[in-house]
Every structure is written in structure tokens, then in C-alpha cells.
Amino acid sequence: MNKKISFSFALSFLFVAHLSSADLVQDSGVDGGVFVRVGCDDPAALMAMKAENCVVQGLDTDAKDVAAARQAIAAKGAYGAVSCSVFDGTRLPYIADTVNLLVVEEPGNLGKDEILRVLCPNGVAYIKGEKVVKPRSNSTADW
């Protein structure tokens, strides 16, 4: 009996020791697109995620942290390529399959299903140090 195991919807998991934001970008293998970090309490970490061919957005539930991060990022001349917004902590403000790299150190009320909803196929999320790669569906063709 030949059993086929389909990995098309399986997720690959890898625990990653505490890496800097720049190291996470490199470790992810993602070379551009939309990069998101949940938590704006460390503006330097947001700016360190900036790479070629990407935009970085920080999200936080605390308006004061967002304002402070915006000010720090603007002072470094990086606001625009790196930006920050307030969100409700449960629903990421993106349509499905649009985020290429997502870093969530403290998920709070943010569920893994919501993280996977916004992550594009082959997109990478780091959730509390765990690397999660969203697989590409077998029905998705190369262009």
C-alpha cells in the first residue's frame, strides 16, 4: 500500500535562539516585500529589519509606544520605509497572504491562525522565537 503524505499544508517549525532583527531577516531567507514587527517598544529593532526591496511596519496596541517609535524613526530619517501604526491586538490590518516576514515576540491575544492568515505562501513568521514557514499550496503555479 502506497501512502502519500502531503506536505502542502504542513507548516515547518524551527526554534530560533534569540536573534537580532537584522539576523532574523537574514535567517528568514526573505529577500523583500512587507516586513512586520508586532511591538514598537524598540524602534532600533524596527529599523534593523529594513532591507533592500521591503517596507517595514511596526504594530502596537499602545499609542504611546507607537508615537515614541515614530519620533525615533523620523529622527534617523527612516520614516516612510519604516512606519508604525496602532492595532487592536487581535486582528492584523492586512488582507490575506500579503506579509512576507512577521516577527511577534509577545503575541498576547494574537492567534497563530491570524498570523498565518496574513502571511503569504513561503512567508516566514517568528513567533516567540519559533520560526514558522507558511507553505505554498500545490495549486499555486510559478509565474
Position 19 scores a pLDDT of 53
Query: What pLDDT digit, counting tens, does each position of 15-51 carry?
Result: 344 456 666 677 677 888 999 999 999 999 999 999 8
3-state secondary structure of 80: coil
Q: Which residue has the cell 514598537?
A: 40
Query: What pLDDT digit, counting tens, does each position of 67-93 carry?
Result: 999 999 999 999 999 999 999 999 999
Residue 70 grid cell = 515614530
Beta strands 99-104 and 82-86, pairing class: unpaired
Q: Name the pLDDT band for 141 (thresholds 50, 70, 90).
A: low
Bridge partners of 14, per DSSP, are 131
**Structure letter (DSSP) for residue 52:** T
E strand segments, the chain: 12-15, 33-38, 54-60, 82-86, 99-104, 119-127, 130-133
